[in-house]
Chains A and B, each alone.
Chain A
Amino acid sequence: MRFVRDYLVPRLVQYVLVVFCGITAVFFIPRLTGQDPVLEIIAQIQAQGASLDPLAVRNLMETLKELYGLKGSLFEQYLTMWRRVFTFDFGPSFFQFPTPVAQLLRVYLPWTIGLFATSTVLSWVLGNIIGGIAGYFSGKSWSKILDAVIMVIRPIPHYIFGVVLLILFAYVWPLFPARGLSIGRGMALNLELVLAILRGSFLPALTLVILGGVVWFQQMKLLVQNVKREDFVEYARVGGVKERRVVFRYVLKNAMLPQVTQLALALGQVFSGVLIVEMVFSYPGMGLLLYRGVTRGDYNLVMGITVLSILTIATAVLLLDLLYPLLDPRIRHR
């Protein structure tokens, strides 16, 4: 059971640490601003023209403090925060009062996870394989052209790339819906719905796969260009192993493993990209929910989304770490 002690336990400890630090950061960093969300809300209400007498303001402040978990000393507030995380109760949402934040998150989270998982896996696999082949044949002209195209795509941020695709494929050449997907309750699961979901998710997924894929492409291309020069590859080629086999079994497989570790490091950024893309295409996930929450000043909702995102990313990293031994026999048989 050395595997459990040397591999599994450290990963679990790391998981707990990441969640702990992340949620502590979410608690403390906004407090560094010295701004009070309660006063903010009251200012908003008063700016809308409602006149409140001092007593009403006091009552309102008390209620809001309770709802935001801002009662008591800093330490008590910190404990309240953790209680909220464990009971998954972030109070009511303000823009859809009085729906609890947790209920909104439960509706939107599966959509985000679906998009996140599909696009991450697709971009990783496609980016690495194409990048690997392009790296192996880096002298060929198609490889150079691909490289040049990717040099242009790589620096474009998610939002701008999404807008470009939206303009091109929803307005100029209307292949896909511009308004995104709308979800309702009690939808019957039939072919029509599946098609609608596929159509509505295609552009967001395409944006993520391309922008994520180019990063893996470039990294893999560099890696393979180095692995290609190693002795065992040369030996295999001289020994008459077929070129296809050399590329896929010898070179790609060896260069792919470090990329799994890279993926774990990049997941936080990838997830942010997913949220941003969801806003562009009105895809019914947590990004759209975040957009609505932010524009309406719904502090509870944004807090819930942030905490849930930290949990999602940490869990995804843990899953990846647990899958890793299946891919790399060196760790399994240590």
Chain B
Amino acid sequence: MEALRELFRDYRFAVGFVIFLFLVVLAFLSFASPYDPIRQLQVPRDRPPSRAHILGTNSKGQDVFWEATFSIRNSLIIALIAGLVSRIVAILVGFVAGYRGGTLDRILMGLADGLLVIPLFLILVMVAMLLRGSMTLVNTGLLLAFFGWAWDARTIRSQILSLREREFTKTSVLSGNGTMSLVIREYLPFTTPLIFSTLINNIAWAIGMEIVLAILGLVRLEIPTLGTTLQWAITYQAMLLGHWWWISTPVVLTILLLVALYWLSVSVSEYLDPRMRIQRIGARS
């Protein structure tokens, strides 16, 4: 709790947290939506914002506000699946490569480097093209997870490398602790904050990537997400026809969501960096 109070002193954390909370509330509002998220022609089309429809209606005959609540919820679901699953891979690869070292380390890191140099985005698109019909929320999340672990595995590995050299590792090994217990009881608590900050970054990446996949028509377009909402608005020429309330809703929501996540992550990683912490304490005294 002390840590949380310290974090809230940073305006970036406070602002990011409030925006994120606001968006999560919006996402939960979707459960109270009076409209079906998929059915079309439920309300008059192309109406600007009014009291009945606070963000207007779109050319598909849907209420923009309530569609937006669904789209935030679904985008967050995709991003969470992508983030959590790729964290598991990144932690496994990072821990094994960092702790074992040697040939296994070189092979795993070579694999991760290979994934970084080649344009991942294009291979992601190729795979999505083949899976086009079955790109539901869960599958989109899993596909993004498959491509999203490489960089973070590297980061986690270097942390483990430094932990392995510390005194307490030897103490633990010499006092007869098994590798598993050493890794879970000693290393995991040390790396948890780092893993959390990579999780936030990965979630932001997944949200951006989902948008591009949606624009390319590679996800199930009838399921509202931030990406598909934007894709429909562009398909129906919302820009040309001046339906600003429709196209700007997903754009503004995406920017809010990503800025909030980025600020949270910057704030958390600065909090974790001991050099920065010393500066902060020094500044306050």
A-side interface residues toward B, CB under 8 Å? Answer: 18, 21-22, 25-26, 29-30, 32-33, 35, 37, 40, 151-152, 154-160, 163-164, 166-167, 171, 178, 265, 268, 271-272, 275-276, 279, 290-291, 294-295, 297, 299, 302-303, 305-306, 309-310, 313-314, 317
Contact = CB atoms under 8 A, between A and B. Distances in A.
A77 to B, nearest CB: 15
A310 B119 contact: yes
B200 to A, nearest CB: 10
Contacts of B218: 294
A151 B255 CA distance: 12
B266 interface: yes
A25 B261 CA distance: 32
Given A151-B263, A159-B208, A276-B121, A33 B131 contact: yes
Contacts of B119: 268, 271-272, 275, 306, 309-310, 313
B254 interface: yes
B177 interface: no
16 contacts: A22-B118, A26-B118, A33-B127, A151-B266, A157-B254, A158-B208, A159-B208, A159-B215, A272-B122, A290-B122, A290-B125, A291-B215, A297-B129, A305-B122, A306-B126, A309-B122
Given A22-B114, A33-B131, A268-B117, A160 B255 contact: yes
B118 A163 contact: no
Interface in B1-48: 12
A220 B248 CA distance: 33
Contact of A160 (B122, B239, B254, B261): B254
Contact of A30 (B115, B126, B258): B126
Contact of A155 (B240, B242, B262): B262
Contacts of B261: 155
B239 A167 contact: yes
A271 B117 CA distance: 10
Contacts of A159: 208, 211-212, 215
Contact of B117 (A22, A160, A291): A22
B120 A272 contact: yes
Contacts of B266: 151
B259 A313 contact: no
Q: What 4 A-B pairs have minimum CB-CB distances, sorted nearest first?
A: A157-B208, A155-B262, A272-B121, A35-B130
Contacts of A291: 215-216
A68 to B, nearest CB: 12
Interface in B81-119: 114-119
Contacts of A37: 130
Nearest to A164: B251
Contacts of A151: 12, 259, 262-263, 266
A237 to B, nearest CB: 22
Contacts of A156: 255, 258-259
Interface of B: 12, 114-123, 125-127, 129-132, 204, 207-208, 211-212, 215-218, 230, 239-240, 242, 244, 247-248, 251, 254-255, 258-259, 261-263, 266
A26 B12 CA distance: 41
Contacts of B126: 26, 29-30, 302-303, 306
A290 B114 CA distance: 22
A151 B12 CA distance: 10
Nearest to B143: A33
Nearest to B218: A294
A305 B254 CA distance: 29
Nearest to A24: B114
Given A30-B130, A160-B211, A272-B119, 6 more contacts: A25-B115, A26-B126, A272-B120, A279-B216, A306-B119, A313-B118
Contacts of B254: 157, 160
Contact of B259 (A21, A152, A295): A152
A155 B258 contact: yes
Nearest to A44: B132
Contact of B216 (A164, A272, A295, A303): A295
Contacts of B216: 279, 290-291, 294-295
A306 B254 CA distance: 28
Contacts of B114: 18, 21-22, 25
A244 to B, nearest CB: 28
